[in-house]
């Protein structure tokens, strides 16, 4: 008889040990100032023949590269090189156009803007200016956001469980999604040579989402 009673107690107690599951999602985000700045410029030359156009462009870009060789904390990279004919409505070649892009990247915003202004003085056109958040800085922000999101999620889980006279017995699954921040590029038209182009610091949203499934225990077992 004792064995039968014990068995009944185990069967009755089993449903109380695990009352169900609770799924939650929590997102934490923060606006972070960008820490890297970029510029994209273009050198252009036109002539009656492709050789002359290329020669003029090559001289222009060589002078531009020499001007930025000692620019503080700037990464300089040349881009696409293009030579093409400019035709009239009848398809006849009116002139040849040679173009090449030049990219600047650096952590010092004022230094980059000053360099862009100097290159504009030399005849280069500014195609775009922008700012972005580096992955290194975004990763540091994500670490703080993970702690913030997890703390908020646990508090919500305890509150929800208590509302049903239950408690959190453990965590069955946890999923972390740290969305890659998207750079917010800010375009700027080529400014007058006497006036440096405008470039603000800008911000990027860093966001972390935590999804978790908690195991619930009946309140009597807390």
**pLDDT, tens digit (0-9, with 9 covering 90-100), for 9-30:** 232 333 444 568 999 999 999 9
Categorize the per-residue pLDDT at 187 as very low, low, confident or very high, splitting at 50, 70 and 90: very low
User: For domain 19-33+135-221, which CATH number applies: 3.30.110.170, 3.40.50.800, 1.20.1530.20, 1.10.1660.10?
Assistant: 3.30.110.170
Is the pLDDT at 183 greater than 60? The verdict is: no
**Stretch 53-75: mean pLDDT, rounded?**
91
**What was the pLDDT predicted at 107?**
92
**Stretch 107-122: mean pLDDT, rounded?**
92
Tell me how far apart the alpha carbons of residues 133 and 35 are, in angstroms, rounded to a whole number: 5
Q: Among 111, 212, 108, which residue's Cα sits nearest to residue 160? A: 212
- Per-residue pLDDT tens for 31-54? 999 989 999 999 999 999 999 999
**What was the pLDDT predicted at 127?**
94
CATH classification (class only), 37-132: alpha beta
Residue 74 CB coordination number (10 Å): 18
Is the pLDDT at 3 greater than 80? The verdict is: no
Q: Provide the whole-model pTM.
A: 0.68
**Stretch 130-140: mean pLDDT, rounded?**
90
Categorize the per-residue pLDDT at 4 as very low, low, confident or very high, splitting at 50, 70 and 90: very low
What region, left, alpha or beta, does residue 116 occupy, with left being phi > 0 and alpha being psi -120 to 50 degrees?
Answer: alpha
Domain with CATH 3.30.110.170 in the chain: 19-33+135-221
DSSP string, 12-81: HHHHHH--EEEEEEEEEEEEEE--EEEEEEEEEEEESSHHHHHHHHHHHHHHHHHHHTT-TTEEEEEEEE
**What was the pLDDT predicted at 118?**
92
* Structure tokens that stand for 99 in this block: 């173009």
Contact yes or no for 98/56 (Cβ under 8 A): yes
Domain with CATH 3.30.70.360 in the chain: 37-132
């Amino acid at each position: 008889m004792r064995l039968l009673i014990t068995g009944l107690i185990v069967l009755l107690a089993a449903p109380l040990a695990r009352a169900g599951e609770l799924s939650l999602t929590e997102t934490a985000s923060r606006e972070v100032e960008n820490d890297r700045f970029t510029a994209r410029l273009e050198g252009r030359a036109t002539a009656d023949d492709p050789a002359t156009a290329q020669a003029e462009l090559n001289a222009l870009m060589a002078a531009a590269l020499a001007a930025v060789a000692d620019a503080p904390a700037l990464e300089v990279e040349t881009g696409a090189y293009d030579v093409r004919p400019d035709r009239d409505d009848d398809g006849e070649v009116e002139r040849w156009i040679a173009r090449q892009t030049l990219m600047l990247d650096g952590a010092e915003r004022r230094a980059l803007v000053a360099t862009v202004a100097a290159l504009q003085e030399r005849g280069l056109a500014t195609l775009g200016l922008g700012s972005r958040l580096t992955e290194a800085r975004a990763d540091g922000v994500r670490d703080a956001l993970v702690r913030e999101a997890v703390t908020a999620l646990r508090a919500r889980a305890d509150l929800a469980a208590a509302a049903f006279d239950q408690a959190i017995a453990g965590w069955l699954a946890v999923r972390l999604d740290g969305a890659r921040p998207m750079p917010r590029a800010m375009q700027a038209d080529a400014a007058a040579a006497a006036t440096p182009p405008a470039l603000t610091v800008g911000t990027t949203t860093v966001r972390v989402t935590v999804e978790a499934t908690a195991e619930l225990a009946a309140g009597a077992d807390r």
